[in-house]
Amino acid sequence: MKSISDEILKAIKYGIERKTIACDKTYKSVIKTVTSKGYVILDNTGSERTVKCCIPNLDLRVGQSVWVKMPQNDIKSTHICGVV
């Protein structure tokens, strides 16, 4: 009986981990600098990252707080999705 319950727990754990990996993450950040390639922000790990803004005709300034979205945990697709 113990092996059956262990297998069920492993399956539940695997499902939860898989669901956690495939979700969008949105977090608050601050613009550190503005470059020709985009905006340099602090990502959710504290590292600097250059990202684009998906809001058309919006000029952001250094020090401005923004919402940053990382779709499906894909770091290359990280973008600014809102202003705080």
Residues 39-52: pLDDT tens digits? 999 988 889 999 99
Q: What is the pLDDT of residues 1-52, one digit of tens each?
A: 568 888 888 888 887 776 556 678 899 999 999 999 999 999 888 899 999 9
pLDDT at 74: 86
| 29: three-class secondary structure by DSSP | strand
Residue in 44, 41, 47, 50 with CA at minimum distance from that of residue 83? 41
- For the chain, domain boundaries: 23-83
- Please report the pLDDT score of residue 15 as a whole number: 75
Predicted pLDDT at 77: 94
pTM across the whole model: 0.73
pLDDT at 27: 95
Is the domain spanning 23-83 CATH 2.40.128? The answer is no
